[in-house]
Chains A and B, each alone.
Chain A
Amino acid sequence: MNIQKLKDEAKRAIGRKEVTHLIGYQKGSYGFRISPIFIETKEELDRLTFSPLCSLSLVNYLTIEGKPAQVQSEEEKKSKAKKVAIFVRGCDSRALNQIIAEKGLSRESLYIIGIPCKGVIDLKKIEAQFPNVVDPAEVVEENGKYIITINDQTHEVPKEELIADTCKVCQYPTPLTYNKLLGDKLEGNPANYDDIQKLEEKTPEEKWSFWQNQLDRCIRCYACKNSCPLCYCDGCILDKLTPQWVRRSVDTNENLMFHVTRAFHLAGRCVSCGECERVCPVGIPLMKLNRKMEKDVKELFDFEAGKDPEVKPLLNTFNIEDPDDFVL
């Protein structure tokens, strides 16, 4: 990814009258960290960056300054309504598509700059290999290897060792919706649900003890919920007290209820960005739950979330031909 090209494009976006601010990536305060940046003036553009370290999704930050206005009428669409410019990777663009389909955002209030993404680094993996890095490090991808520069020393690590697990099975590396695309389109991987199938084939007791062991560790920090680009409801069942669907006590049963509900609320909506698994402080394989739903939705209803902003959300629609054999 050519950083200069990225900055030029950002400059052009910021230069547009209707764009209020741009959301991008900047280097974090230490080590391999990356943080979001909100750019309003041209002077700040120099801080923009993009590297395989940019694993966080910027879609969540769209709502930080208040949701961009919903554009309803045709007149508003034609008039130059205020827009927010945002950098998106393949998965982020699917999240945006899905939110637009659910009428959570209007396409007209966004100026989307797409970045074809070759996969990002799992922070846990790189920090395990290079512990206690204080000074900001640089990572460049070249020929299937990551070239990592820490304090003027370069290290070469094969891509396979550091890339995030979700990126290994990424089907849509190129953004599906954008105003401007930086770079060439990339081919995605074919759908692969082998790991899910393996777990499905176990006996109920094995499955139960697997999930019990995993979810027992949950400390209910709700990082998975807060980082999820699709968890944007104003009212959430987790905050509700009457009735209190999920208690605050951290025990297996309440944890299970939380995770089952979370996974179900993402049925037909999850875009497999892997954000939940990335932020989990205790390393619960949450994508195994989400990908199960994704697999079912694809097999049973031939539906994929976030492919088209015009398609109605899965659970709001039906097909008379839907599978019916489980009904008595």
Chain B
Amino acid sequence: MSEFEPNIVAFLCNWCSYAGADLTGTTRTHYPPTVKVIRVMCTGRVNPLFVLQALRQGADGVLISGCHPGECHYLKGNFLARRRFLLMKNLLEYIGINPSRIRMSWVSASEGKKFADVITEVTEDIKKLGPLKSFKREIL
């Protein structure tokens, strides 16, 4: 059997992380092809429902990435998201989902290398955990 390839959904903010991911490509940095990118205008836009729904519809992990604290294009979106996803992560941990499946990172538009590192790290972690079966919808 071939090695398990995780399926990771990444919500990237338009102003920092998406541009950062773009830079990773332009500088030809390699990173695992496990990530499906969804561009959002701000991490504050990411409703916790999106995360739950991603996990139920086949994702093994979710990454939310935005601007560094204090650098948000909308001034405070990433601060609000940070609070929200810390609570969400704790709640999911409480019902028995490993917290490394929900990750958050700050990647600015100039940190192409960091984006590659983040994706590598998240992929490695989820590879160790294996596929997420428990939270998946039986009928999609």
Residues of A within 8 A of B (CB): 199-200, 204-212, 237, 243, 245, 251, 253-254, 256-257, 260-261, 263-264, 267-268, 289, 292-293, 296-297, 300-301, 314-316, 318-320, 322-324, 326-328
Contacts and interface: CB of A to CB of B under 8 A. Distances in A.
Contact of B96 (A211, A315, A316, A322): A211
Contacts of A300: 86-87
B80 A253 contact: no
Interface stretch (B19-27, B29-37, B132-140): B132-140
Given A300-B86, A322-B83, A256 B69 contact: no
Interface size on B, as a range, is 35 or more
7 contacts: A208-B95, A210-B96, A253-B138, A256-B135, A257-B52, A260-B91, A320-B69
Given A208-B134, A328-B118, A264 B82 contact: no
Nearest to B94: A292
A133 to B, nearest CB: 38
Given A208-B95, A327-B104, A322 B79 contact: yes
Contacts of B80: 315-316, 318
Most buried by B among A204, A211, A256: A204
B45 interface: no
Contacts of A204: 93, 96-98
Nearest to A292: B94
A204 B103 CA distance: 17
Given A207-B95, A237-B49, A253 B137 contact: yes
Interface in B44-65: 48-49, 52-53, 56
A326 B104 contact: yes
Contact of A251 (B86, B118, B138): B138
Given A205-B96, A318-B76, A328-B118, A296 B90 contact: yes
Given A256-B95, A315-B80, A326 B86 contact: yes
Given A206-B96, A253-B56, A253-B135, A327 B87 contact: no
Nearest to B77: A318
A318 B87 contact: no
A220 B53 CA distance: 19
A316 B89 CA distance: 18
Nearest to A267: B87
Nearest to B122: A328
B79 A264 contact: no
B79 A318 contact: yes
A203 to B, nearest CB: 8
Contacts of B49: 237, 245, 261
Contact of A320 (B79, B98, B138): B79
Nearest to B70: A320
B38 interface: no
Contacts of A327: 82, 104-106
A322 B52 contact: no
Interface in B72-131: 76, 79-80, 82-84, 86-99, 103-106, 118, 121-122
